[in-house]
Every structure is written in structure tokens, then in C-alpha cells.
Amino acid sequence: MKITVAGVGYVGLSLAVLLAQNHEVTAITTTEEKAEKLNRWISPIRDEEIERFFAEVRAGERELHLHTTTDKAAAYRSAELVVIAAPTNYDDKEHYFDTSAVEDAIEQTLAVNPDVLIVIKSTVPVGYTDSVREKYGIDHVLFSPEFLRESKALYDNLHPSRIVVGAYDHQMEDARMFADLLLEGARAEETRAGQEPQEIRTLIAHPTEAEAIKLFANTYLAVRVSYFNELDTYAQMKGLNTAQIIEGVCLDPRIGGHYNNPSFGYGGYCLPKDTKQLLANYRDVPQMMIEAVVKSNSVRKDFIAEQILNKNPETVGIYRLTMKSNSDNFRASAIQGVMKRILDKGVKVIIYEPTLEAETVFMDCVVENDWKRFSEQCDVILANRFDERLESVKDKVYTRDLYGRD
Ligand SMILES: NC(=O)c1ccc[n+]([C@@H]2O[C@H](COP(=O)([O-])OP(=O)(O)OC[C@H]3O[C@@H](n4cnc5c(N)ncnc54)[C@H](O)[C@@H]3O)[C@@H](O)[C@H]2O)c1
């Protein structure tokens, strides 16, 4: 099958690679530089599985039918299936997702290939697919929520926790076909690695319900993060041992000992924006929790900043701008919110972030990537996630990372 994937970020690239095991995939990017890199099998993002797959292609040990281009018209024209993985940022003025990049891809597709099946993989507001059907007078559009984690993007598509496709009854054949394409990609790697096939639950739901599934799933995760963070705030204020409380609470199997590591707040590209979009969808619907989970993240960062400021530091060091230790991007990372609060009080902040060039200025703060100079200058070092590197300056470190994960 000839498949075109619009967007080569975490979602688009991992899907393109997954599908390119068995099909001819053209990926569309907006920059020549990225296309050129990908066509030399160099990943523009840090992702262990994508990097492994590309290394195997370069070594002639694996075949992937993937080509990346900036020629959108040609890519859409030749496609038998178009998968859209463009960004949907939350617009703080409109209080809604900016879906213009998804619409761009739909319009460009319809202009050259009006009948091709379109699957939206971007996260969209509840009710969006219906609005697209109406706006463009089309029926051949599905929505399939994506559940991958950044830096484990291809891994999560090779080992999906579930596959959800949003479709109407008369679109069942297309929905099954798309679910089968994803399953086929996961099975291809299992077979290659000699693994037993895992059971992968597939759910075909109404498109609006599928959109809600994505936003409610991410909001649940945000609630859980906020819950353990507020537990930690309480314990810190009352001088209690957070780890003991969490351990005891999580011994209840209904709660479970996973995804319970305190942090400076939930962050990354999706949780902050998806919770806000769900809250926007709740307009006129009674609720307390959805609004609370959005506010809770801000209250947590206020608390963390206050803890730091109470130490009266002259210089605060930021150890990594990223959310997780194995991540290479810092979109909406919680530490930036804490930084902003500290900077607002006029305290000097410097950053250690090896993915940025030394001496770069980020949020008006200098990046100091010389470890010795960085650690000597700081009175306090903030780390959302602890790292071996911090062991030698442990006395200066402020972190709420209890378990070294999540
Ligand atoms: N990152 C995640 O962990 C994750 C997980 C699940 C769902 N999602 C959702 O998937 C979508 C994409 O997320 P991402 O993290 O891959 O984004 P990203 O920013 O990493 O990548 C988006 C890609 O789309 C390209 N692009 C921008 N405008 C375009 C256009 N008009 N036409 C074609 N391509 C265009 C960009 O150049 C970029 O390559 C978002 O809606 C996001 O909410 C993301």
C-alpha cells in the first residue's frame, strides 16, 4: 500500500517507520534539512528504537520502504492512505487547540486526491472529526488516538497497549483495515525478534468517543501525577516522609505502585495542553476535577519555587530543562514553570543542558555546560529527575524524584 504520513515528529516518524516495514511510505516534512537527514537514515529525534532501526538499515540488516520529502502535493497525490500527525498546540487566547496544521494537511490532500482515506492521528478537540466531515463535505476521514510516550515512540507502536480507531458503522471496513495495518507493523517486529505475539486489544469507537478517549486518558494521567505531587506537598509542609506514605497508599492493588513518582509538575507536549483542551470541551458541563487538575499543576510549581526561594540562594542552577532523564526535548517541561517563578523574584538562574549549545541564552538565563563551573556557581541545583551526575553535589540538589523513574 502507498501511505503518506504528514508530519515527522514523534508521532509521524514512529508511525512512518512502523508502517514502512510492510508498505511504501512517504513522509512529509516542512524542512529540507530534516528530509535530507531522514533519507540518510539519521533520526532527527532521540528515540532508541528508531535509532536502532535506522542503524540496521544503514548496516544493510533491515529494509524500510520509507522516503521523506517536502513535496506535499506529489506525496498526497500518489497516496492510497493519508495519515496526519501534525501538531495541535493549545492556543491560550482562543482557549482551544490550534488545528490549522491538520486542516492544512486535509486541504492539501483533498486538492490533489479528493477520495483518498484520511486518518487523523493528531490529538484533536472532542467533536473535531465531525466538524471536519461537515466543513469539507467528506466522509472518508477517521480519527485514531495515539498513545505513545516521547523517546519511546516507536517502542510503544511496536508494543501498543491498545489500538483505538474512531469510525462510524459504515466505515468499519476502513477502520479495521487501519487497525490491521498497525497490528501488522507490531507483529512484523515480534516475528523478526522471535517473540511470542502479544495480545493487543483493539477498540473501534465512534469518532467523537475516540477523541474523548484520548483527552480523558491523558487527563487521568495528569490527575494521578497531580495527586502524588499534592501528597508530596502535604508531606513536605508537615515534615512527613513522602516515600513511606506513597508506599503504603500504593500497596492497595486498586491504586498500584506505578506512575507515582513526585515531580515539579506534569509537563511535556501533551498533558498540559490536553487537560486544557478537555476543560475547554467541558464548557457548560458541570465539573470540579478537570479545572482542578489544570490549576493543581500551577499550584505545585508555586510550592516548589517557594521551597527554593526560602533557601535564599544567590544563584540557582537548573539541571536539565527536559522532563525525563532520557528525553531530548523540553516542550512545556515543568522545570521551566519553576524557573519562571524564581526569575520573577530576581534570583540569578543558570542552566546545565547539553542539548543546547554552551553560552546560549534560554529564558534570559545563560547555559553553562561546563560541569565544574556550573556546579561551583550554584547555591541550589534544581533537578526534576535525579541523575548519577548529581551524586557528587548531592548537598546542593533539590529534587522530588524518589524513585528515579517516570
Ligand atoms: N508527542 C507525543 O508524545 C504525542 C503522543 C500522542 C499524541 N500526540 C499528538 O500528535 C500530534 C503530533 O505530535 P508530535 O509530538 O509528533 O509533534 P511534533 O511537533 O514533534 O511534530 C509535528 C510534525 O508536523 C510537521 N508539520 C507541521 N505543520 C505541518 C503541516 N501543515 N503539514 C504537514 N506537516 C506539518 C512538523 O514539521 C513536525 O515534523 C499532536 O497533535 C500531539 O498532541 C503526541
* pLDDT at residue 294 is higher than 80: yes
Position 349 scores a pLDDT of 98
270 is catalytic: yes
**386-403: average pLDDT:** 96
- The pLDDT of residue 114 is 98
Average pLDDT of the chain to the nearest whole number: 97
Task: Quote the ligand 1 centre to 228 CA distance (angstroms).
Answer: 29
pLDDT band at residue 342 using 50, 70 and 90 as cut-offs? very high
At residue 365, φ and ψ (nearest 5 deg) are -115, 145
Structure confidence by residue, pLDDT tens digits, 37-51:
999 999 999 999 999
For residues 4 and 79, the answer to whether their CB atoms sit within 8 Å is yes
- Nearest-CA residue for ligand 1 atom 2 is 150
Residue 87's pLDDT is what?
98
Q: Is the pLDDT of residue 75 over 90?
A: yes
- If we measure between CA atoms, which residue out of 97, 137, 117 comes closest to residue 281? 97
Q: Looking at the predicted structure, is the pLDDT value of residue 250 above 90?
A: yes
- What is the average pLDDT across 100-129? 98
CB-count burial class (<10 Å; 0-12, 13-18, 19+) for 302: middle
- Going by the DSSP 8-state scheme, the letter that residue 165 receives in this structure is E
Secondary structure letter of residue 90 according to DSSP: E
Give percent of the chain with pLDDT exceeding 90: 96
Pocket perturbation via mutation, ligand 1, pick of 4, 26, 28, 30 by most ligand atoms within 8 A of CB = 30
- Who lines ligand 1 at CB under 6 A? 6-12, 28-30, 85-88, 101, 104-105, 122-123, 146, 148, 150, 269-270
Confidence of residue 324 (pLDDT cuts 50, 70, 90): confident
- Distance (angstroms) between ligand 1 centre and the Cα of 47 equals 15
Ligand 1 atom closest to residue 101's alpha carbon, by position in its atom list: 31
Is residue 329 over pLDDT 90? no
Nearest protein CA to atom 28 of ligand 1, as residue: 101
- By C-alpha distance, which of 28, 110, 16 is closest to 71? 28
- Rounded Cα distance between 149 and 147, Å, is 7
Ramachandran angles phi, psi of 220, nearest 5°: -60, -45
The Cα 24–Cα 46 span in angstroms is 24
Q: Which of 8, 68, 9 is closest to 39 using CA atoms?
A: 68
Q: Indicate the burial class of 310 (C-beta count within 10 angstroms; 0-12, 13-18, 19 or more).
A: exposed
pLDDT band for position 238 (cuts 50, 70, 90): very high
In this predicted structure, the answer to whether residue 279 has a pLDDT above a threshold of 90 is yes
First vs last Cα of the chain: how many Å apart?
37
Q: What is the mean pLDDT of residues 218-227?
A: 98
pLDDT attached to residue 103: 98
Q: How confident is the model at residue 223 (pLDDT cuts 50, 70, 90)?
A: very high
Q: Which of 250, 270, 365, 378 is catalytic?
A: 270
Task: State which of 269, 274, 327 you would mutate to test the pocket of ligand 1, scoring each by most atoms of that ligand within 8 A of its C-beta.
Answer: 269
- Residues 6 or more apart in contact with residue 154 via CB below 8 angstroms: 13, 14, 17, 18, 47, 49, 50, 53
Q: Is 110's pLDDT higher than 80?
A: yes
What is the pLDDT, as a whole number, of residue 325? 77
Strands 66-69 and 24-28: parallel
Give the tens place of pLDDT for each residue, 350-374.
Answer: 999 999 998 899 999 999 999 999 9
Residue 242's pLDDT band (cuts 50, 70, 90)? very high
Domains of the chain listed by start with CATH number: 2-205 (3.40.50.720), 241-398 (3.40.50.720)
pLDDT of 212: 98
Residue owning the nearest CA to atom 21 of ligand 1: 9
Average pLDDT over residues 223-229: 98
DSSP string, 275-325: HHHHHHHTTTS--SHHHHHHHHHHHHHHHHHHHHHTT--SEEEEE-SSSST
Query: Would you say residue 326 has pLDDT above 80?
Result: no
List all residues 6 or more positions away from 109 whose beta carbon is below 8 Å from its beta carbon. Answer: 6, 76, 79, 82, 116, 118
Cβ atoms of 13 and 45 closer than 8 Å:
yes
Q: How far, in Å, is the centroid of ligand 1 from the Cα of 86?
A: 4
Is 80 exceeded by the pLDDT of residue 333? yes
- With H, G, I as helix, E, B as strand and everything else as coil, classify residue 350: strand
**Predicted confidence (pLDDT) per residue in 194-211, tens digit:** 999 889 999 999 999 999
Over range 304-321, report the average pLDDT.
Answer: 98
Top pLDDT among 81 and 151 is at 81
Q: How confident is the model at residue 398 (pLDDT cuts 50, 70, 90)?
A: very high
Q: For ligand 1, atom 11, which residue shows the shortest CA distance?
A: 122
Using most ligand atoms within 8 A of CB, pick from 144, 146, 151 the residue to mutate for ligand 1: 146
**β-strands 81-84, 117-120: how paired?**
parallel
CB 116 within 8 A of CB 83: no
